[in-house]
Structure 1
Amino acid sequence: MRARSSSLKARTLLRRLTTGVAGVAFVSALVLTLNACSVDPGGAPAGSSRTPTAGPTSTGPSASSPSTPDAGAPFNRTAHSADDPSSIWVVVNKARPFKPLDFTPPDLVVVGVPHVWEPQLRKPAADAVVAMFAAFTAETGLKMQSQSAFRSYATQRGVYDQDVTASGQAAADTDTARPGTSEHQTGLAIDISALPAKCSLAACFGETTQGTWLATNAWRFGFLLRYPADKVPITGYTYEPWHFRFVGIELATEMHSNGVSTLEEYFGLPAAPQYK
């Protein structure tokens, strides 16, 4: 109360002086006094809206997470294209192949994380993977590794042909993308496994500590679990708890906040259960 009374007097005198011809030095002194009276014991300006920052949790942004967008700003669904193959929001599925089919991202870099095959991703996705892996280890004491990341059109053709030979085309089409329709070709998708390896590229990965943490926290770093178990009729692929797609923190946060789990649903695109 005493500080508020002193502040009120100082403000009143300051208004009188600034409408007259008082000396600049005296006014400056009063400004200093006014500022001193307007600071609370905690160091924040009196009447400010600053509140203590909550510590990191396993389900929300933490000190190890990249910056999150302003929750009060309206979300711009047209900020990036869903059609341009170089866009971080591009939607690629069985009904939406790359144009051109052999598209290669221009900004691929090696991702500095443990791996089975040396991973390459586009720079924003690579940085986010490094941050996400570091946060997982800091929060759990365990480790993850990259199983597979960018795959070119030619590489995907080899993977698909091998799967067709092993299990037939009908079976291959449920869990392996045909060349020119794989998210791995965007340079924004990564398959993740436990380190040491456990349930790699299998549905049981979703029950591991790595799988459950990723399902809960990947959005904090701009990633989606791209092929959820309950969205097979929309995505066209069986449940893949190891496959994560980078879309940026803004879109990942928007989708998480609104309970939307697939890009097809968010952008109002047709489901893609099979090839045309």
Structure 2
Amino acid sequence: MKKIIGFMLAFLVITGCQAKDDEAPVLSLSKSRVQIALNESIDYLQYVEKAYDKKDGDLIKQVNYTTIDTSTVGKKTIHYDVKDQAGNQSQTDLIVDVVEYFGDLINPVTAQADIVENPDDVTVLVNKLHEIPEGWKPDDLEKVIDCSQKLRHEANEAYTRFYQAAKVKGIDIYTISGYREPETQELYWNNVVKVSGEEHAIQYNAYPRRSEHELGLCVDVSYTTEGDRLSEKVADSALGKFIESDAYQYGFILRYPKDKVRITGYNYEPWHIRYVGVELATQLHNENKTLEEYYEG
């Protein structure tokens, strides 16, 4: 009897020392949202950054996921989950935009865009997948320093400082285009489609309600008022170099860099600068990131 009691006590001591595993494994993705070309196949596990449990170790091979249909365009969701041996579970989702591409550019006509909830925020993301609410217009527009173009008040104050700094350095700077009414942007788009075709419009124009010009926070600038004012020649001018080196100090970013076309969804535009505030502009400049990459995290 004493041996039996001793055995039972030893068993209770041993089992009592074992901590219960109630901690879920870590499951993280490398991205929260991606774009996939229409009919493109997907390597679902390529987006799993980590699947790990303190007791069970690497759980990549145990990750489960739902599949999506890439034969139709639209915004879709992949659900990921993983369990450890104790049954603890972690879940996370990946948003996938199945889109049509023309080269590196998304076709906004068929792409399903989210309507942004904060169009008044100077850091708001507007692109081919994020559009301005219908009927929204900025209420603090004012004329810029050298012409009748307009910007929102905060952006205009910053642009005035940027403009004056360029002038002090002897740099020629001309404001070509600022704020555009939604109706104007729609007219631009329709006219280009009519004259040059939809594929041309996709490559060189913004779809209505998905243009930053409708925010009143961006401005197209040039070193000349003659000929093709908005071309890649701007990049090689003193103005283009000033944008690259100093624009962030005034709260502006080069919105569509040459090496980020697939990310921004727009061709290289060395003339298009966007106001996001000095703090964010400095961060993006230092990290060599676009606004899309910033929101991707």
- TM bin, normalised by shorter chain, reads 0.5 to 0.7
Alignment of 1:162 with 2:191, yes or no, is: yes
Write the letter of the residue equivalent to 2:122. Answer: I
Q: Is the 8 A contact 1:102 1:152 kept in 2?
A: no
| Corresponding position: 1:90 with 2:124 | yes
TM-fit CA distance, 1:254: 1.4
Matched, 1:211 2:245: no
Separation in structure 2 between the aligned mates of residue 166 and residue 201 of structure 1, nearest angstrom: 20
Match of 1:112 in 2: 145
- Indicate the residue corresponding to 1:124 in structure 2: 154
Matched residue, 2:296: 268
Aligned mates of 2:160, 2:212 — CA distance in 1: 19
Query: Once superposed, which parts of structure 1, at least 4 consecutive aligned residues long, lie more than 6 Å away?
Result: none
Could you tell me the TM-score, scaled by structure 2's length?
A: 0.59
Decide which of 253, 257, 266 is 2:286's aligned counterpart.
257
- Give the alignment partner of residue 138 of structure 1, picking from 163, 168, 173: 168
Percent identity over the alignment is 36
Q: Are residue 229 (structure 1) and residue 245 (structure 2) matched?
A: no
Using the TM superposition, give the Cα deviation of residue 212 of structure 1 relative to its aligned residue in structure 2, in angstroms.
1.6
- Amino acid in the other structure paired with 1:112: I
| Structure showing the higher strand proportion among its residues | 2
- Gaps (5+ residues) in structure 2? 1-115
Q: Specify whether residues 98 and 203 from structure 1 end up closer, same or farther in structure 2 by C-alpha distance, changes over 3 A only.
A: same
From the superposition, tell whether residues 198 and 213 of structure 1 become closer, same or farther in structure 2 (CA, over 3 Å): farther
Q: Tell me what 1:31 maps to.
A: none
What TM-score, normalized by structure 1, do the two folds share?
0.63
CA root-mean-square deviation: 1.6
**Aligned-pair CA distance for 1:193:** 1.0
Aligned counterparts of 1:84 and 1:235: Cα–Cα separation in 2: 19
Q: Which residue of 2 aligns with 1:153?
A: 182
Query: Which digits, 9 at most, give the CA deviation of each residue in 1:141-165, with x for residues without a partner?
Result: 1321110000011010111112212
Structure with the larger RCO, 1 or 2 (CA within 8 Å, 6+ apart): 1
Structure with greater proportional helix content: 1
Per-residue CA deviation, residues 195-245 of structure 1 (Å, 9 max, x unaligned), is 454651112211111112112211110001101111111111110000000
Work out whether residues 232 and 238 of structure 1, in 8 Å CA contact, stay in contact via their aligned partners in 2.
yes
Q: Residue 244 of structure 1 aligns to a residue in which SS? A: strand
Give, in whole Å, the separation in 1 of the partners of 2:194 and 2:238: 33
Q: Does 1:173 align with 2:209?
A: no
- Structure 2 residue identity aligned to 1:221: Y
- Paired residue type of 1:266: Y
1:242 maps to 2:271: yes
Aligned length: 182
Structure 1 gaps of 5+ residues are 1-81, 270-276
